[in-house]
Amino acid sequence: MSLLQQIALTLIPGVGSVNSKLLLKHFGSVEELFTASKAQLTAIPGIGEKTAHNIFQKEFFKRAEKEMDFIERYKIKTFFITDDEYPQRLKNCYDAPVLLYYKGNADLNHSKIISIVGTRKATSYGKELTQKLVEDLKKHDVVVTSGLAHGIDAVAHRECLRNEVPTVGVVGHGLDRIYPAQHRSMAEKMVACGGILTEFLSETNPDRENFPKRNRIVAGMADATIIVEASVTGGALITADLANSYNRDVFAYPGDVNHEYSAGCNHLIKTNRANLITGIKDVEYLLGWVATQEAETPKQLSLNLALEPDEDKIARILFAKKMAGIDELSLDAQMPQSKLVVALLGLEMKGVVIGLPGKMYKLA
């Protein structure tokens, strides 16, 4: 019943991602939400009479049942925002979708995730930069995300497949189709070495308004977004602005000042909305990476560390989860963020915890 209710929640007009999380926070679960009275619903700020009325409509459950049949038939994975498998970086974004649909095997909570985006009309300059970037990223054991569009996106995905780098395409439609259709073969290979991810139900067309929504997932699930080539009005700049709003790193390659598809990158750099990079060494420096071809030694949490009670609680949560954001740590530890920040600072000073881009933390 829970998955049926989760899907139905995403279909209700007037709810959306932000209000969905508000309702879930208030009621504790999707099951409790759908058993609430109209008076309980309208008592929540932001939930008016019309939205409360919509929650009681049964047709949303009929559509949700149809989607469940599709999910089961094609073995689609679903991640609800309260699931541990849900991308934790994305969960910390205020407008994160409450439900994701996924085909693939790449870890969406991998320790290093980079988004590579750019213009659909990539030049030879942009293609060469993307190819070299992916080749150089391989040694860092990363997952690369992009939007499966023509141009830089497609080059990034294709080079990842060639270099055996897991790559996830985030799409602006349901998983019953691939857009553009020319990328179907590539998408099938990505499912075997990466994945295809969306917030949209099957039978959803790749309409224009879906792509900015898609872009927030591309930006939100990564440590950093790299803009290779872009015009000043392209979707890549929307992705960059979204990444900045989520307090994520944005990097951009500079280009010819007279070229249309370098203008966007140059503008981001000029307005301090992106760090200038010329290659992998800049990425390594800005993200604090150390290249390694070897697997990391599994961490063991020492019980002999001189930790304060709050620090010990946070360290144990990070040991179990490997990585978590401030919001999630606050919730799991039942600790206000003002107190949590002090504990995290103490852990960082003792060399127990490392702060990551996007207000994420992991054990050192």
Domains of the chain (ranges plus CATH)?
1-72 (1.10.150.20), 104-287 (3.40.50.450), 309-363 (1.10.10.10)
Q: In what order do the strands lie in the sheet with 360-363?
A: 324-325, 360-363, 353-356
pLDDT, tens only, 50-60: 888 888 888 89
Quick check: pTM over 0.85?
no
Q: Quick check: 277 and 228 in contact, CB under 8 A?
A: no
Distance between CA atoms of 306 and 113, rounded to whole angstroms? 32
The rounded mean pLDDT for the chain is 90
pLDDT of residue 312: 86
pLDDT digits (tens, 9 = 90+) for 154-187: 999 999 999 999 999 999 999 999 999 999 999 9
pLDDT at 306 over 80: no
- Crossing angle of helices 124-137 and 152-163, in 10° steps, is 40
pLDDT tier at 274, thresholds 50, 70, 90: very high
Q: Position of tokens 């008592």? A: 43
Confidence of residue 358 (pLDDT cuts 50, 70, 90): low
**pLDDT single digits (tens) 217-260:** 999 999 999 999 999 988 899 999 999 999 899 999 999 988 99
The span from the CA of 159 to the CA of 121, in Å, is 17
CA 122 – CA 144 distance, rounded (Å): 18
Q: Stretch 50-78: mean pLDDT, rounded?
A: 92
Q: Where does the pLDDT of residue 305 fall: very low under 50, low under 70, confident under 90, or very high at 90 and above?
A: low
* Top-confidence residue, 336 or 187: 187
Ranking 21-35, 37-51, 261-275, 298-312 by mean pLDDT, the lowest is: 298-312
pLDDT at 16: 86
CA distance 199 to 202: 10
